[in-house]
A and B are shown apart, each in its own frame.
Chain A
Amino acid sequence: MPKDGGIGASSKRREDVRFLTGAGNYTDDINVNGQTYAWFIRSDVAHGKINSIDTSAAQAMDGVLKVFTAADFESAGGIPCGWQVTDRHGQPMQEPKHPILAEGKVRHVGDPIACVVAETLEQARDAAEAVEIDIEELEPVLDMKAALAEDAPKVHDELTSNLCYDWGFVEENKEAVDEAIKNAAHVVTLELTNNRLVANPMEPRVAVADYSRARDEYTLYTTSQNPHVIRLLMGAFVLSIPEHKLRVVAPDVGGGFGSKIYHYAEEAFVTHASKVVNRPVKWTSTRSEAFISDAHGRDHKTKIELALDENHMFTAVRTDTYANMGAYLSTFAPSIPTWLHGTLMAGNYKTPVIYVNVKAVFTNTTPVDAYRGAGRPEATYQLERVIDKAARELGVDPAELRRKNFIKPEEFPYDTPVAVTYDTGNYHATLDKALEMTDYAGFEKRAEESKARGKLRGYGLAHFIEACGIAPSNLVGQLGARAGLYESATVRVNATGGITVMTGSHSHGQGHETSFAQVVADMIGIDEGMIEIEHGDTANTPMGMGTYGSRSIAVGGSAMVRATEKIINKAKKIAAHLMEASESDIELKDGQFSVAGTDKSVAWGDVTLAAYVPHNYPLEEIEPGLEETAFYDPSNFTYPSGAYVCEVEVDPETGKVEVLGFTAADDFGNVVNPMIVEGQVHGGVAQGIGQALMENCAYDENGQLISASYMDYTMPRADDMPMFDVDHSCQTPCTHNPLGVKGCGEAGAIGSPPAVVNAVIDALHRGGYTNVEHIDMPVTPARVWAAMNS
Chain B
Amino acid sequence: MYNFDIETPSTVKDAVAALKQEDAQPLGGGQTLIPTMKQRLAMPSALVSLKGIDEMRGICEDDDGRLCIGGSTTHAEVAAGAGKYPALAALAGQIGDPAVRNRGTIGGSVANNDPAACYPAAVLASGATVTTDRREIAADDYFQGMFTTALEEGEIVTEVKFPVPEKAAYMKFEQPASRFALVGVFVAKFADGVRVAVTGASEEGVFRWSEAEAALTSDFSAGALEGLSLSGDGMISDLHGSGDYRAHIVKVMTKRAVEAA
What are 19 contact pairs spanning A and B, CB under 8 A?
Answer: A653-B252, A654-B173, A654-B249, A654-B252, A656-B173, A694-B176, A698-B239, A706-B238, A707-B177, A710-B178, A711-B177, A712-B239, A713-B177, A780-B176, A781-B176, A781-B245, A782-B242, A785-B248, A786-B242
Q: Give Cα distance in the complex from A786 to B249, angstroms.
A: 12
Q: Give Cα distance in the complex from A125 to B43, angstroms.
A: 14
Q: Is A712's CB under 8 angstroms from B178's CB? A: yes
Is A288's CB within 8 Å of the partner chain B?
yes
Q: How many chain-A residues does the 8 Å CB contact rule pick out? A: 23
Tell me the smallest distance from the CB of B142 to a CB of chain A, in Å. Answer: 25
Top 8 closest A-B pairs, CB basis? Answer: A782-B241, A714-B177, A714-B176, A711-B178, A782-B245, A653-B252, A712-B177, A698-B239
Q: Is A288's CB under 8 angstroms from B39's CB? A: yes
Is B135's CB within 8 Å of the partner chain A?
no
Chain B, Cβ-Cβ closest to A693: B176
Q: Is B241's CB under 8 angstroms from A781's CB? A: yes
Contacts of A785 in B (CB 8 A): 245, 248
The residue from A288, A656, A710, A786 contacting B177, defined by CB atoms under 8 A apart: A710
Is B84's CB within 8 Å of the partner chain A?
no
0 or 1 for each of A628-651: is its CB under 8 Å from B? (1 = yes): 000000000000000000000000
The interface size bin for chain B is: 10 to 19
Chain B, Cβ-Cβ closest to A706: B239
Q: Interface majority SS on A: helix, strand, loop or mixed?
A: loop
Contacts of A712 in B (CB 8 A): 177-178, 239-240
Is A507's CB within 8 Å of the partner chain B?
no
Q: Give Cα distance in the complex from A711 to B32, angstroms.
A: 12
Is B40's CB within 8 Å of the partner chain A?
yes
Q: Which residues of A contact B (CB under 8 A)?
A: 122, 125, 129, 288, 653-654, 656, 694, 696, 698, 706-707, 710-715, 780-782, 785-786
Q: A125-B40, A712-B239 are in contact. List 6 more A-B contacts (CB 8 A).
A: A653-B252, A694-B177, A711-B178, A781-B173, A782-B245, A786-B245
Chain B, Cβ-Cβ closest to A695: B177
Q: Is B239's CB under 8 angstroms from A696's CB? A: yes
Q: Give Cα distance in the complex from A364 to B178, angstroms.
A: 27
Q: Give Cα distance in the complex from A713 to B179, angstroms.
A: 11
Tell me the smallest distance from the CB of B205 to a CB of chain A, in Å. Answer: 18
Contacts of A710 in B (CB 8 A): 177-178
Contacts of A713 in B (CB 8 A): 177
Contacts of B178 in A (CB 8 A): 710-712
Chain B, Cβ-Cβ closest to A710: B177
Q: Give Cα distance in the complex from A299 to B178, angstroms.
A: 23
Q: Which residues of B contact A (CB under 8 A)?
A: 1, 39-40, 173, 176-178, 238-242, 245, 248-249, 252
Q: Give Cα distance in the complex from A780 to B242, angstroms.
A: 12
Tell me the smallest distance from the CB of B26 to a CB of chain A, in Å. Answer: 23
Highest count of chain A CB atoms <10 Å: which of B176, B239, B240, B241: B176
Q: Give Cα distance in the complex from A122 to B176, angstroms.
A: 34
Chain A, Cβ-Cβ closest to B248: A785
Q: Give Cα distance in the complex from A698 to B177, angstroms.
A: 13
Contacts of A786 in B (CB 8 A): 242, 245
Tell me the smallest distance from the CB of B117 to a CB of chain A, in Å. Answer: 13
Chain A, Cβ-Cβ closest to B97: A717
Q: Give Cα distance in the complex from A694 to B242, angstroms.
A: 16
Tell me the smallest distance from the CB of B72 to a CB of chain A, in Å. Answer: 25
Contacts of B239 in A (CB 8 A): 696, 698, 706-707, 712
Q: Give Cα distance in the complex from A129 to B248, angstroms.
A: 44
Tell me the smallest distance from the CB of A40 to a CB of chain B, in Å. Answer: 15
Highest count of chain B CB atoms <10 Å: which of A711, A715, A780, A782: A782
Tell me the smallest distance from the CB of B256 to a CB of chain A, in Å. Answer: 9
Contacts of B240 in A (CB 8 A): 712, 780, 782
Chain B, Cβ-Cβ closest to A707: B239
Contacts of B176 in A (CB 8 A): 694, 714, 780-781
Q: Give Cα distance in the complex from A653 to B255, angstroms.
A: 11
Contacts of B249 in A (CB 8 A): 654
Contacts of A698 in B (CB 8 A): 239
Contacts of B242 in A (CB 8 A): 782, 786
Q: Give Cα distance in the complex from A168 to B249, angstroms.
A: 46
Contacts of A780 in B (CB 8 A): 176, 240-241
Tell me the smallest distance from the CB of A772 to a CB of chain B, in Å. Answer: 16
Q: Give Cα distance in the complex from A696 to B177, angstroms.
A: 10
Q: Give Cα distance in the complex from A573 to B245, angstroms.
A: 76
Q: Give Cα distance in the complex from A790 to B78, angstroms.
A: 43
Contacts of A714 in B (CB 8 A): 176-177
Q: Give Cα distance in the complex from A698 to B239, angstroms.
A: 8
Tell me the smallest distance from the CB of A625 to a CB of chain B, in Å. Answer: 55
Contacts of A707 in B (CB 8 A): 177, 239
Q: Give Cα distance in the complex from A715 to B177, angstroms.
A: 7
Q: Give Cα distance in the complex from A303 to B241, angstroms.
A: 26
Q: Give Cα distance in the complex from A782 to B235, angstroms.
A: 14
Tell me the smallest distance from the CB of B215 to a CB of chain A, in Å. Answer: 18
Chain B, Cβ-Cβ closest to A713: B177
Q: Give Cα distance in the complex from A654 to B173, angstroms.
A: 9
Chain A, Cβ-Cβ closest to B253: A654
Q: Give Cα distance in the complex from A654 to B238, angstroms.
A: 16
Q: Give Cα distance in the complex from A129 to B43, angstroms.
A: 14
Contacts of A696 in B (CB 8 A): 239
Contacts of B245 in A (CB 8 A): 781-782, 785-786
